Amino acid sequence: MTAVTPYRSGLRTGRDGFAQLLRAEWTKIRTVRGWTAGLALVALLIVGLGVLFAAGSHSSCSKGPIEVPCPAPLTGPGGVPVQDRFYFAHQPLAGDGSVTVRVSSMTGQIRKPDVTPGVRNVVPGVTPWAKAGVMIKQSVRQGTAYAALMVTGSHGVHMQYNFTEDLAGRPGGVSAASPRWLRLTRTGDTITGEESADGSHWTTVGTVRPPGLAGKVEIGLFAASPGDLTVTPNVMGGAAVASRFAEVTAVMDQVGVRGVAAGGTWGRDDIGVTMEADGVTPHHPGGLVQSGGTFKVTGVGDIAPSAEGMPVERVLTGVLTGLVAMTAVAVLFVTAEYRRGLIRTTLLASPRRGRVLAAKAVVIAAAAFAAGLVGAAVTVPVGQSILAANGNVLAPVAPLTSLRVIVGTAALLAVAAVFALAVGALFRRSAMAVIAVVVTIIVPYVLAVASILPEEVSRWLLRVTPAAGFAVQQSMPTYAQVTARYAPAEGYFPLPPWAGFAVLCAYAALALALAAHRLRRSDV
């Protein structure tokens, strides 16, 4: 045999790293027009459907027969929407001081559904978060800073301040046989809440410095009772929610106030009371009956954060449809290679198979994130301003929360796209993979929020399925000390935003691991 000089290439060899693989996959995705159009469609669907929703939402309020713009929701010191309605017997306090009372009874009445139509059905009772006790408040204006120490209907002693903050004291209710002593002391800007069973042995419930509570303040006794919330499941799924009138009356004695002017009289304010149609008669008034040293304070309403206004994520209604388009692109990004046999070419160029899948996942995640970010970052401000222009009341939202909703939406699309890609690589069939993703992410979400299923089933779905990831869009916080229906149908997820997102991430990671396993093990 003749000797041959083997071929030596004059071509300079390039680098063989993950960056090259990423670039190759990026070139792949951007050179198929259907896929780039699909990515653009994701952003367009989010913006378009969001704007459509905003443009179609109008609201106005009526004042008697006249239609007026709805008032902005009342906000507390932190800018959060609040409700601030209670009965307050108070004296001015300029410097340090304290108020001490003994609560020996809490009774009340609750209106129940009418048994005989037209006849008010009122029964004795106290709602779980009915509250009465002592308070220091900046002024009698609604929404100002405060700190309060209270006995509650069925949650024992609590110390609360500035609407959102809550500290729990000892549990248990009050009666004449076992009264509860409460004391609120102001030293500089610091407020200390203490409780006692006998008036001589005191336990500190909390020491706080509520922002905005300084200078001349009002100190005194208060009572408030949130409405009685009933949730009745409907036969056909969903639930009927009703909040009915409830009031509480607390009996307090052994009242001692320090730091106020000697011989001062009690100011009485039914803070936040609404008037009847005549404009002068209070609707469900509170009151104070004083006999000797005994104060009977009756209150209606609540001092708490409220969920008034449209939350910011409502304008992101197009994300669900955008996710379907994103799923199709992500699935096709891998199944098209199997369908055409192109996967062999890909693996010839990059025989390390796990890296190929990783590069595909990074590229599809980046593309989905970009599409989602553009969509959400445009939709939120535009949608919000259209909603506001149409007279809708928007829930105030902190800039960081708003940012988390926008970035979270982009991240939701990115991780869902990785999940879809992995399912596509696992099944190697477009239709099957798209159906599988829709069934595991979109169907559980729609079922859970659409008031179709029993609430517990809805919560369960949003905990254990990839649909839990939608929690990242929830802007409204939940509070343990508030009587409210925090149901998926109302936009409340069972898991905190990032925990829900983590569930979706776990599914994506699992699917990716299975896909990598299959890709590594099998002939192509």
Partner 1 sequence: MEATIEVTGLRKRFGQTQALDGMTFTVLPGRVTGFVGPNGAGKSTTMRVVLGLDAPDEGRALVGGHPYPSLRNPLSHVGALLDAAALQPSRTGRNHLLWLAHSQGLGARRVDEVIEQVGLTPAARRRAGGYSLGMRQRLGIAVALLGDPPVLMLDEPFNGLDPEGIVWIRGFLRSLAAEGRAVLVSSHLMSELQDTAGHLVVVGRGRVVADTSVADLITTASRDRVTLRTTARAEAMSVLAGADATVTVTERDTLVVSGLAAEHIVRLLGAQGVPFSEVAAHRATLEEAYLDLTRDAVEFRGAAR
Q: Which residues lie near partner 1 (CB under 8 A)?
A: 1-2, 4-11, 13-17, 20-21, 23-28, 31-34, 336-337, 340-342, 344-345, 347-352, 523-524
CA dihedral 381, 383, 389, 394 (to 10 degrees): -80
In the bound state with partner 1, the residue whose beta carbon lies nearer, of 186 and 353, is 353
Closest distance of CB 18 from partner 1, Å = 11
Tokens 């990074």 appear where?
Answer: 362
The backbone torsions φ and ψ at residue 133, rounded to the nearest 5 degrees and listed phi first, read 165, -140
In the bound state with partner 1, the residue whose beta carbon lies nearer, of 389 and 524, is 524
Element (H, E) at 159: strand 157-161
CA dihedral 32, 35, 36, 37 (to 10 degrees): 120
Q: Would you state the structure tokens that stand for residue 355, as one six-digit string?
A: 């890296």
In the bound state with partner 1, the residue whose beta carbon lies nearer, of 25 and 302, is 25
Closest distance of CB 353 from partner 1, Å = 8
In the bound state with partner 1, the residue whose beta carbon lies nearer, of 31 and 281, is 31
Q: Would you state the structure tokens that stand for residue 297, as one six-digit string?
A: 């304070």
In the bound state with partner 1, the residue whose beta carbon lies nearer, of 329 and 508, is 329
In the bound state with partner 1, the residue whose beta carbon lies nearer, of 38 and 466, is 38
Closest distance of CB 512 from partner 1, Å = 20
User: Distance between CA 498 and CA 389 in Å, rounded?
Assistant: 32
Closest distance of CB 350 from partner 1, Å = 6
User: Distance between CA 362 and CA 369 in Å, rounded?
Assistant: 10
In the bound state with partner 1, the residue whose beta carbon lies nearer, of 24 and 241, is 24
Amino acid at 518: R
Closest distance of CB 349 from partner 1, Å = 4
DSSP-derived secondary structure letter, 69: P
Query: Do 221 and 135 touch, CB atoms closer than 8 A?
Result: yes
Closest distance of CB 24 from partner 1, Å = 4
In the bound state with partner 1, the residue whose beta carbon lies nearer, of 170 and 352, is 352
In the bound state with partner 1, the residue whose beta carbon lies nearer, of 28 and 186, is 28
Closest distance of CB 522 from partner 1, Å = 9
In the bound state with partner 1, the residue whose beta carbon lies nearer, of 244 and 355, is 355
Q: Would you state the structure tokens that stand for residue 82, as one six-digit string?
A: 């609040």
Closest distance of CB 346 from partner 1, Å = 8
User: Distance between CA 210 and CA 97 in Å, rounded?
Assistant: 16
Helix, strand or coil, per DSSP, at residue 518 = helix
Amino acid at 317: T
Closest distance of CB 9 from partner 1, Å = 4
Closest distance of CB 1 from partner 1, Å = 8
In the bound state with partner 1, the residue whose beta carbon lies nearer, of 347 and 435, is 347
User: Distance between CA 399 and CA 396 in Å, rounded?
Assistant: 10
CA distances (Å), 500 to each of 163, 471, 493, in order?
A: 26, 5, 8
Element (H, E) at 128: none
Closest distance of CB 366 from partner 1, Å = 16
In the bound state with partner 1, the residue whose beta carbon lies nearer, of 348 and 400, is 348
In the bound state with partner 1, the residue whose beta carbon lies nearer, of 26 and 245, is 26
Residues linked to residue 249 through DSSP beta bridges, in sequence order: 107, 298
Q: Would you state the structure tokens that stand for residue 353, as one six-digit string?
A: 């198979």
Q: What is the DSSP string of 197-211?
A: SSSSSEEEEEEE--T
Query: Do 475 and 403 touch, CB atoms closer than 8 A?
Result: no
CA 513 to chain centre: 32
Closest distance of CB 57 from partner 1, Å = 40
User: Distance between CA 171 and CA 154 in Å, rounded?
Assistant: 8
Closest distance of CB 331 from partner 1, Å = 15
The backbone torsions φ and ψ at residue 158, rounded to the nearest 5 degrees and listed phi first, read -135, 150
Residues linked to residue 81 through DSSP beta bridges, in sequence order: 75
CA distances (Å), 68 to each of 62, 377, 387, in order?
A: 5, 31, 16
The backbone torsions φ and ψ at residue 38, rounded to the nearest 5 degrees and listed phi first, read -60, -40
User: Distance between CA 76 and CA 163 in Å, rounded?
Assistant: 7
User: Distance between CA 479 and CA 159 in Å, rounded?
Assistant: 14
